[in-house]
Chains A and B, each alone.
Chain A
Amino acid sequence: MFKGVLYLFLFLVFGEIIVHLFNLSIAGSIVGMVAIFIALKLKVIKLNDVKPASDQFIKYMVLFFVPYGVGLMTFYDILKMHWIAIVISTVLSTIITLYVTAIILQKFGKDE
Chain B
Amino acid sequence: MTRRSSSEALAWGLFSAGGMVSALLVPVLLVLFGVVYPLVLVEPPLQSYLLTVLSNPFIRAALLVLCLLSLLHWAHRFRHTLNILFRVKRFSVPIGFLCYGAAAGGSIWATLVLFQ
B is a partner of A:
no
